[in-house]
């Protein structure tokens, strides 16, 4: 155990965020580095529970009490060994994961949870000191973080072939003739759309059409073809992708930003029907929400107004209420809000129905995801699938956990046995009610 009285004597403390008026002028990460001695005290709050429910909250099964204890003792090399035993990319999860491990932390029953995510992130950063390119904004994870991991993987023997349209430049049959096993880790990129009058107006974009231009602008690769500079921006969708659009639009100099969500505003406290240690759906304020913008809940878009140039000029909204399992409009609640740029961030419905999937003759389930058996293998011999392509849109920790499990399944398929870790079954689900 780390400090036996740490959770009693030390309050939870997160790293400070850079001032809003400073960070909205650049694309650098929001959080400042915490003093290592302060981080050690945070790690010392871990109770080293007899039954560590934080393990249950994390699909990777991270050995959280062990590396908390090692960081508290200052044993950095041992800590990164324990962290890498279960997580290949802690520098990604430490920045991008919403930390379901923390909502499952036993300390959180009566106090604030241990800052597990920050201890994880600092552990890998200390290791890099001593020894996902487009779609994720720079202010959440600067791309040099990705570059250094790619460099390490190349040194270990991984070969990356980019700018290849798989299914066209190389066909599924060519891949099968050349390789003994294929793993489809293509994500769930088939975005959800909004089929209402005016949808085809200029100025309406999918979030993943827009966000990569923010990445390129931050890296000075090119002038963005889609920019929020000087515009009244409305974002449809209240999730993480919507928040990414919000932070990007602010940094591009948007005149105003409004984020709309069809669901009611969540409560600030854990609801009674979402007990510990489940991951609760509560009201959260991301760094982007702290910077600017307005959030509106329980509203639905009925149509878009279009000006004489074919450009979107406004959204026609109506308040909604959730009754009998569906959203119903509230009569007399109609209103209009101005917008000359609209970003659709309403989630994804599965992998893109590409030519490759047809060539490999894989089947899809009722939700549009690629079917696989208990060993991550599709109906096509030697073709495996992991991550969002098989599970549906999910969290980064689930993608990594499935990648580790699929690697184990492929190893067993090729050699007849394996000693690689297999953290989760394809049917495993998050700890939620």
What would the pLDDT profile of 31-70 be if each residue is shown by its tens digit? 999 999 999 999 999 999 999 999 888 999 999 999 999 9
> pLDDT higher for 187 or 133?
187
Across 299-319, average pLDDT: 97
Per-residue confidence band for 132, with pLDDT thresholds at 50, 70 and 90: low
Please report the pLDDT score of residue 236 as a whole number.
Answer: 98
Topology at the third CATH level for domain 162-188+350-415: FAD/NAD(P)-binding domain (3.50.50)
Q: Which residues contact 81 (CB under 8 A, 6 or more apart)?
A: none
Topology at the third CATH level for domain 204-344: FAD/NAD(P)-binding domain (3.50.50)
Statement: residue 216 has pLDDT above 70: yes
At 279, is the secondary structure helix, strand, or coil? coil
Residue range(s) of every CATH 3.50.50.60 domain in the chain? 162-188+350-415, 204-344
On whether the CB atoms of residues 368 and 205 are closer than 8 A, the answer is no
On whether the CB atoms of residues 329 and 320 are closer than 8 A, the answer is yes
- Written in H, E and C, the secondary structure of 34-61 is CCHHHHHHHHCCCCCCCCCHHHHHCCCC
Per-residue confidence band for 357, with pLDDT thresholds at 50, 70 and 90: very high
- Rounded to the nearest 10°, the torsion over CA 124, 130, 131, 135 is 40
Please report the pLDDT score of residue 433 as a whole number.
Answer: 46
Copy the structure tokens of residue 122. Answer: 């600092």
**What phi, psi does 296 have (nearest 5°)?**
-125, 135
Q: Is 91 exposed, middle or buried (0-12, 13-18, 19+ CB in 10 A)?
A: buried
Q: Give the count of beta carbons closer than 10 Å to the beta carbon of residue 93.
A: 26
Nearest alpha carbon to residue 113 among 123, 124, 121, 101: 101
On whether the CB atoms of residues 137 and 244 are closer than 8 A, the answer is yes
Statement: residue 152 has pLDDT above 70: yes
- Which residues does residue 166 pair with via DSSP β-bridges, in sequence order? 170
The Cα–Cα gap between 408 and 375 comes to: 9
Residue range(s) of every CATH 1.10.1060.10 domain in the chain? 6-149
Per-residue confidence band for 323, with pLDDT thresholds at 50, 70 and 90: confident
Per-residue confidence band for 335, with pLDDT thresholds at 50, 70 and 90: very high
Copy the structure tokens of residue 191. Answer: 């975005």
The Cα–Cα gap between 351 and 386 comes to: 11
Q: At what angle do helices 36-43 and 64-72 cross, to 10 degrees?
A: 140
Whole-number mean pLDDT of the chain?
Answer: 92
Please report the pLDDT score of residue 140 as a whole number.
Answer: 78
Class of the domain covering 6-149: mainly alpha
Copy the structure tokens of residue 236. Answer: 């449809």
> pLDDT higher for 100 or 1?
100
The pTM assigned to this predicted structure is 0.83
On whether the CB atoms of residues 25 and 13 are closer than 8 A, the answer is no
Question: Could you tell me what percent of the chain has a pLDDT over 70?
Answer: 97
**What phi, psi does 71 have (nearest 5°)?**
-65, -40
On whether the CB atoms of residues 344 and 236 are closer than 8 A, the answer is yes
The Cα–Cα gap between 205 and 402 comes to: 31
- Which residues does residue 305 pair with via DSSP β-bridges, in sequence order? 314
pLDDT digits (tens, 9 = 90+) for 362-410: 999 999 999 999 999 999 999 999 999 999 999 999 999 999 999 999 9
Statement: residue 250 has pLDDT above 80: yes
Per-residue confidence band for 142, with pLDDT thresholds at 50, 70 and 90: confident
Per-residue confidence band for 2, with pLDDT thresholds at 50, 70 and 90: low
pLDDT digits (tens, 9 = 90+) for 180-203: 999 999 999 999 999 999 999 999
The Cα–Cα gap between 343 and 204 comes to: 6
Tokens 């009674």 found at? 272
As a whole number of Å, the end-to-end CA separation of the chain is 31
> pLDDT higher for 221 or 360?
360
> pLDDT higher for 128 or 432?
128
Across 96-113, average pLDDT: 94
H-helix or E-strand spanning residue 314? strand 312-323
> pLDDT higher for 4 or 369?
369
Please report the pLDDT score of residue 134 as a whole number.
Answer: 54
């Amino acid at each position: 155990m780390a400090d036996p009285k740490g959770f009693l004597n030390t309050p939870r403390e997160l790293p400070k965020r850079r001032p809003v008026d400073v960070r909205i002028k650049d694309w650098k990460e929001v959080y400042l580095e915490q003093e290592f001695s302060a981080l050690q005290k945070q790690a010392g709050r871990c109770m080293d529970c007899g039954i560590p429910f934080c393990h249950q909250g994390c699909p990777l099964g991270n050995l959280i009490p062990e590396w908390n204890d090692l960081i508290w003792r200052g044993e950095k090399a041992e800590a990164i060994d324990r962290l890498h035993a279960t997580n290949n990319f802690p520098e990604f999860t430490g920045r991008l994961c919403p930390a379901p491990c923390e909502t499952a932390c036993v300390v959180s029953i009566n106090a604030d949870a241990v800052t597990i995510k920050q201890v994880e992130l600092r552990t890998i950063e200390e290791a890099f000191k001593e020894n996902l390119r487009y779609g994720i904004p720079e202010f959440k994870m600067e791309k040099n973080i990705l570059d250094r991991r790619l460099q390490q993987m190349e040194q270990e023997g991984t070969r990356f072939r980019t700018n290849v349209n798989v299914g066209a430049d190389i066909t599924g049959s060519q891949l099968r003739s050349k390789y003994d096993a294929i793993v489809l880790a293509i994500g769930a990129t088939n975005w959800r759309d909004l089929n209402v009058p005016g949808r085809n107006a200029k100025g309406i974009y999918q979030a993943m059409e827009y966000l990569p231009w923010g990445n390129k602008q931050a890296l000075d690769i090119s002038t963005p073809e889609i920019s929020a500079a000087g515009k009244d921006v409305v974002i449809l969708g209240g999730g993480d992708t919507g928040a990414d659009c919000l932070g990007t639009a602010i940094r591009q100099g948007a005149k105003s930003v409004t984020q709309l969500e069809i669901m009611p505003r969540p409560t600030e406290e854990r609801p009674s029907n979402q007990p510990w240690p489940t991951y609760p759906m509560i009201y959260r304020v991301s760094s982007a929400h702290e910077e600017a913008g307005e959030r509106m809940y329980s509203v639905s878009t009925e149509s878009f107004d279009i000006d004489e140039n074919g450009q979107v000029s406004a959204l026609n909204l109506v308040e909604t209420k959730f009754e009998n399992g569906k959203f119903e409009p509230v009569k007399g609640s109609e209103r209009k809000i101005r917008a000359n740029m609209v970003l659709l961030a309403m989630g994804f419905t599965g992998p893109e129905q590409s030519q490759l999937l047809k060539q490999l003759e894989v089947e899809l389930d009722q939700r549009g995801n690629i079917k696989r058996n208990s060993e991550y293998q599709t109906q096509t011999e030697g073709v495996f699938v992991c991550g969002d392509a098989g599970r549906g849109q999910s969290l980064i920790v689930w993608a990594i956990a499935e990648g580790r499990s699929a690697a184990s399944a492929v190893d067993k398929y090729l050699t007849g046995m394996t000693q690689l870790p297999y953290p989760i079954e394809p049917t495993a689900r998050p700890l939620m009610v």
